[in-house]
Amino acid sequence: MKIKLFLVLTILFSTLVIPKEKKEIKVFGNCGMCKKKIEKSLKIKEVYNSKWDKKSKMLSVVYNEKSISLDSLEKRIAAVGYDTEHYKAKDEVYNELPGCCLYRTVEEH
């Protein structure tokens, strides 16, 4: 019983002391495939949650600000083909996206 209580308290305490930051990042994309790829690019231990909204083009991200910077997160997104406000994806990576994901032809930003 003491071990279970200790484990529960350890888990609860560890979630309270981890520095978490919630930010929003503008990420350009078009569809559900974009959403999957954008969110998958941030499936790393330093990111607790990420959710991209197709309509607003905003990515809400909760991450450990002591382990990774917002700048690094934006670079990860650009590396898989999606522009952010601060980083543009390389043309060769962007051009490999499926046709429905080619957002630069749909809107200029």
Topology adopted by domain 20-105: Alpha-Beta Plaits (3.30.70)
- pLDDT (mean) for 25-38: 97
Which is more confidently placed, 97 or 9?
A: 97
- Please report, rounded to a whole number, the percentage of residues in the chain having pLDDT higher than 70: 82
Taking residue 23's Cβ as centre, other Cβ atoms within 10 Å add up to: 12
Taking residue 45's Cβ as centre, other Cβ atoms within 10 Å add up to: 9
Evaluate whether 43 touches 73 at the Cβ level (below 8 Å): no
pLDDT band of 15, cuts 50, 70, 90: low
- pLDDT (mean) for 56-61: 97
Sequence-ordered strand ranges (E) for 1-109:
20-26, 47-53, 58-64
Assigned token pair, 31: 């569809």
> What pLDDT sits at residue 109?
47
- Please report, rounded to a whole number, the percentage of residues in the chain having pLDDT higher than 90: 76
Tell me how far apart the alpha carbons of residues 58 and 60 are, in angstroms, rounded to a whole number.
Answer: 6
Least confident of 9-13, 66-70, 74-78: 9-13
Q: What is the pLDDT of residues 73-105, one digit of tens each?
A: 999 999 999 999 999 999 999 999 999 999 997
The domain spans of the chain are 20-105
Residue 3 has pLDDT above 90, yes or no: no
